[in-house]
Amino acid sequence: MKRAHAIPAIIALGLVACNDMSRPITSGDFDPLSTPGGQVTPVAITPAFAAGQFVRAIMDNTAFFKNRPKGDADADKLLPRGTSMKVISSSDTYAKVELDSGDIGWVPVVMLEDPNAVPAQDESFAAPGPGEYQVYPPVGGYGGMLPPVTPAELPPEGAIPTVIDPEAPISPDPIPPVTVPSEAFPAPPPNPGGQ
């Protein structure tokens, strides 16, 4: 008899404990209802260039603004790659620069580079280890010598080349004509039931 009274008490205790489950979980910063990418925390970019430093444009069509841009403003001028300029000041995303022509304006920091910076050594240009195959870039970097190939390593005669060189001379052999198959394929029989 005492058991019958204990069951409603246990159910009531369970429902009271579940009361916390009706509120949103606030222990983390993930919100499943926000748009994708909407919870990205902006990364603080420190100014990479000092005042008086000479820099150049990394890419063609580098945006140049006469006034510091706000929002999605259009560039006043597009600079070609390699355009030299002197940094007047640098902020988080834009550098105030002076062009060789004397024009002063703002350029996005991500479109600038220090021409005197030494590039970091890239581990991907190292020779492959045993059991590894290097596909791209070729051994020795771009424009380097390729390793010698023995006749046993060459593909069979008439095989399709793995790399098609657009600069290679055209073969004097005529291109074989496309032939229509002589065998006719019968049409499927009509379906009498219309299904």
Identify whether 195 is part of a domain. Answer: no
Identify whether 161 is part of a domain. Answer: no
The pair of structure tokens assigned to 121 is: 């050594």
Q: What is the mean pLDDT of the chain?
A: 75
Identify whether 93 is part of a domain. Answer: yes
Q: Find the CATH number of the domain harbouring 71.
A: 2.30.30.40
97, 77 in Cβ contact below 8 A? no
Identify whether 131 is part of a domain. Answer: no
Q: What does the DSSP assignment read for 32-77?
A: TTSPTTTTPPPPPPPP-S-TT-EEEESSTTEEEBSS---SSPPPSE
Spell out the per-residue pLDDT of the chain, length 195, in tens: 566 677 777 777 666 666 555 565 566 666 667 777 666 665 555 557 888 999 999 989 999 999 998 888 899 999 999 999 999 998 878 999 999 999 999 999 989 988 887 665 555 556 666 776 656 655 555 555 666 778 887 777 777 766 667 777 777 777 777 777 677 767 777 777 655
98, 86 in Cβ contact below 8 A? yes
Identify whether 72 is part of a domain. Answer: yes
Identify whether 12 is part of a domain. Answer: no
> Residue 15: what pLDDT?
67
Residue 29 DSSP label: S
107, 84 in Cβ contact below 8 A? no
pTM recorded for the entire structure: 0.41
Identify whether 166 is part of a domain. Answer: no
Owning domain of residue 70: 54-113
Long-range contacts of 181-190 (CB under 8 A, 24+ apart): none
Identify whether 25 is part of a domain. Answer: no
pLDDT in tens, 49-106: 888 999 999 989 999 999 998 888 899 999 999 999 999 998 878 999 999 999 999 9
Please tell me the total count of domains within the chain. 1
